[in-house]
Amino acid sequence: MENLDSKKIPLTNIQKIIAKRMSASKHNKPCFYLEAKADITDLLHLRPKLKKKLGVKITTNSFYISALAHAVGKFPRMAGKVEGDSIILRKDINIGFAVNAPHGLVVPVVKHADQKSLADIAKEEKRLTEKARSHQLTLDDMAEETVALSNLGSYGMDSFIGIVPPVASTILSVGNAFSTVVPQQGGFKARKMLSLTVAVDHRIIDYFYAAEFLCHVKNRLESPQELI
């Protein structure tokens, strides 16, 4: 007998694509996960001051994309892929970032992010986010992702683990900045901390390499002036 309380909701085309791609990635990629905490107190103090200096609003996501791109430049295996019996190290560092659009999750891509200034990344992120939320992204806007970023900080999530997209080998998941008290100079000081969690394809990257990579991201975020 049919359950009268149940409701059948058909999948949208985007949901069908996501389900197929993520199921394949989860099945084919043996991943491991690392987490680190970054002190972003200085970053959060600096960020509001940059709009006047750089002529564009700098989001925390802009910093994350920039730090991620610089770190991948130092650790190119993070953007590698398996092809037959070889690992292909892709020369382009293209950062895909998740956007919660009205029609579902989409991932526009900031191409050649390592070659862009923080201001240029902010402008590109803004342009792509606006296109995503108005359902105007093109296939080219979402193509050629080599590394992924997912940020749920605005939803109050402390930390989470993302699924590596089929076209990438690494996804950095970023949570909400939370307040804590740390020892400093014989006393205590309030600081803003951020949880960084990386999911990595173990066929390409080992624990030590990924740990060094994540430390590099953390260090970049803790020295935000270096990203400007």
**What does the domain layout of the chain look like in residue ranges?**
13-227
Q: What is the pLDDT of residue 62?
A: 97
* Confidence check: pLDDT of 1 > 50: no
Q: Kindly report the CA angle at 52 between 110 and 219, in degrees rounded to 5? A: 55
pLDDT in tens, 35-91: 999 999 999 999 999 988 999 999 999 999 999 999 999 999 999 999 999 999 999
pLDDT band at residue 104 under the 50/70/90 scheme = confident
How high is the pLDDT of residue 2? Answer: 53
Task: Give the model's confidence band at 21: pLDDT under 50 very low, under 70 low, under 90 confident, else very high.
Answer: confident
pLDDT in the model for residue 63: 98
Burial state string for 97-115 with b = 16 or more CB within 10 A and e = fewer than 16: bbbebeeeebbbbbbebbe
202 catalytic per annotation:
yes
Burial degree of 13 (CB within 10 A; 0-12, 13-18, 19+): exposed
Task: Give the chain's mean pLDDT.
Answer: 93
pLDDT band at residue 136, thresholds of 50, 70 and 90? very high
pTM for the whole structure = 0.91
In 3D space, the residue among 138, 81, 74, 136 whose CA is nearest the CA of residue 111 turns out to be 138
Looking at the domain that runs over 13-227, which CATH code has it been given? Answer: 3.30.559.10
- Candidates 201, 198, 203; CA nearest to 217 is 198
126 versus 11: which is more confidently predicted? 126
Q: Is the pLDDT of residue 198 over 60?
A: yes
Choose, from 45, 103, 135, 202, the residue flagged as catalytic.
202
Q: Which residues, 6+ apart, have CB-to-CB distance to 75 below 8 Å?
A: 209, 212, 213, 216
Per-residue pLDDT band for 27 (boundaries 50, 70, 90) equals: confident
Picking from 194, 222, 200, 195, the residue whose alpha carbon sits closest to that of residue 213 is: 200
Q: How far is CA 47 from CA 4, 60, 96, 196, 220, in A?
A: 53, 8, 22, 19, 14
pLDDT tier, 9 (very low <50, low <70, confident <90, very high otherwise)? confident
- Name which residue leads in pLDDT, 15 or 2: 15
Mean pLDDT of 169-180: 95
